Structure 1
Amino acid sequence: MGAAISITRFDLTARELRKAASGEKDGAVSRRMLALALVLDGMDRKTAAETCGMDRQTLRDWVHRYNAEGLAGLRNLTPPGPGSKLTAQQQAELAELVEAGPDPARHGVVRWRRIDLRDELQRRFGVALHERSVGKVLAKLGYRRLSVRPRHPQADEKAPEAFKKNFATTVTAQLPDHAKDKPIEIWFQDEARIGQQGTLTRVWAKRGTRPRAPRDQRYDWAYLFGAACPQRRVAAGLVMPAANAETMSLHLIAIGRMVATGSHAALVLDGAGYHIAAALTIPDNVTLVHLPAYAPELNPIENVWEYLRGNKLAITVFDDYDDIVDKACAAWNFFEKDPKRIASITTRTWATVNP
């Protein structure tokens, strides 16, 4: 056995090494720190090593590592493992393949599974991977299995981005003359049908089970009209028996009453027929700003409906129409009385105007 190797690093004292050892989660690393602390305190190497569960030669090796790398040198080195069978270029092509999606006529599937990608990688590159390995590569590239968001086949992919980019200009151009010099509030509006053909939601259950929940099969419903201003954290809602120009006018009047005195509301909403009807009654302090066609993702009230269904209206059997109205009102009041929730769900960074 060679001569004892002196500890040549003095950035940590014996006391500081013990403190570091007390906070170390890896027991083996903690013992190595304590052994070095004992050596710094003057204990002989053999006793210090045995006290910390190692032999003198092992302690000598850790002194070498500590002198060279500090505390990092006291950790076990993780072997690099085998390299990826796919080159960087092949991984980039895999990412492009995932982004583009499969061609049903060519690949025979409408969505990629790991086994489909495994076969495609074998065909393209001659690289044989297990489907679990394909999943690991996808995870490394930042991909996860996520629920898709519906998109209308006639939707213009560029229209939503253009709307967001030019939002301030669009709103300003549509403001009436009497609102040009007033503070502008941004409101969002939409309506949802609430009724006996209800929705289900996720619940906690044992793995491997199929939990059951009640779902009504009758056909009574009401319409919940909702609007919110994220800047002021206020909302306005009505529950109505139908969705048409008359009920929409009543909701616009309710929104107008909620607008701050001396301000003007730019109300962002979709292009439903009763949103553009000539018979609409629009308050003087409200201007309608219509979203691009087939772009519901731009309206945060859609997220409000998701929140209310998931927390108040799903898995519910309504006794009759009056029960629907009562529960819809209770759900909206639950949301309306939570200013932080209003701001959290409906705030959009692009929806600002500088009058």
Structure 2
Amino acid sequence: MTPTGQPLVCPVQPRYEWLYIYAFVNPETGESQFWLVPEVSKLAYQRVMAAFARSVGASEQHCVLVVEDGAGFHVPPLEGHPPGIQTITIPAYSPELQPVERLWDLTDATVANRWFETMDDFTDTLGQQCAWLETQPNLLSQQTLFHWWPLLRN
């Protein structure tokens, strides 16, 4: 019991660990990349974006457009995104415009409503699902290629 007018102070030990998925998908081809990251932050976003740019060969000669949802952590470094990465931000509160939003049911399929003994078990299961999804371009294209999506014309 605490004296009247005094806040109750109770030490707690947080028992949560977090894991986030950063996902990239090309709706037209179904090509995808999934990154499992322990935090959502500006620094984590910048590092994933830099690694993504390297992995797809983004450069002044090879431009890649990334559609973002305007989350507060979608902030490029002061020097800007890596060369070749261009971003477009969809209007606030419009997840139906973001193709990657349609993938979360697929990523969650093996982990939803399950209990995992350890975070490593959870990460392994989710990582295997994401790796499998990367081998399923037709499935991902079916989920993300909206009828109004602009197709590249070569």
Q: TM-score, normalised by structure 1?
A: 0.35
The residue matched to 1:267 in structure 2 has which SS?
strand
Corresponding residue number in structure 2 for 1:324: 122
Return the offset for 1:279.
4.9
Deviations 1:325-346 (A, max 9, x none): 2222112112111111121111
Corresponding residue number in structure 2 for 1:221: 18
1:346 equivalent in alignment to 2:144: yes
8 Å contact kept, 1:238–1:251:
yes
| Structure 1 gaps, min length 5 | 1-217
| Structure 2 gaps, min length 5 | 1-14
8 Å contact kept, 2:46–2:76:
no
8 Å contact kept, 1:236–1:254:
no
Shift in CA distance, 259/340, structure 1 to aligned 2, threshold 3 Å = farther
| Identical aligned residues as a percent | 24
- From 75, 88, 113, the equivalent of 1:289 is 88
Corresponding residue number in structure 1 for 2:32: 235
8 Å contact kept, 2:58–2:83:
no
Structure 2: distance between partners of 1:353 and 1:297: 18
Structure 2: distance between partners of 1:281 and 1:322: 34
The residue matched to 2:110 in structure 1 has which SS?
helix
Return the offset for 1:303.
1.3
Structure 1: distance between partners of 2:148 and 2:106: 22
Corresponding residue number in structure 1 for 2:12: none
Return the offset for 1:236.
1.4
- From 108, 113, 116, the equivalent of 1:315 is 113
Deviations 1:150-172 (A, max 9, x none): xxxxxxxxxxxxxxxxxxxxxxx
8 Å contact kept, 1:249–1:280:
no
Return the offset for 1:313.
1.7
8 Å contact kept, 2:42–2:74:
yes
Structure 1: distance between partners of 2:105 and 2:38: 21
Structure 1: distance between partners of 2:26 and 2:93: 22
Corresponding residue number in structure 2 for 1:67: none
1:275 equivalent in alignment to 2:94: no
What is the RMSD of the two structures over their aligned residues, measured on CA atoms?
2.4
- From 31, 35, 47, the equivalent of 1:250 is 47
Shift in CA distance, 233/254, structure 1 to aligned 2, threshold 3 Å = farther
Structure 2: distance between partners of 1:330 and 1:281: 32
Paired positions, count: 137
Return the offset for 1:354.
6.1
> Greater CA radius of gyration, 1 or 2?
1
Q: TM-score, normalised by structure 2?
A: 0.77
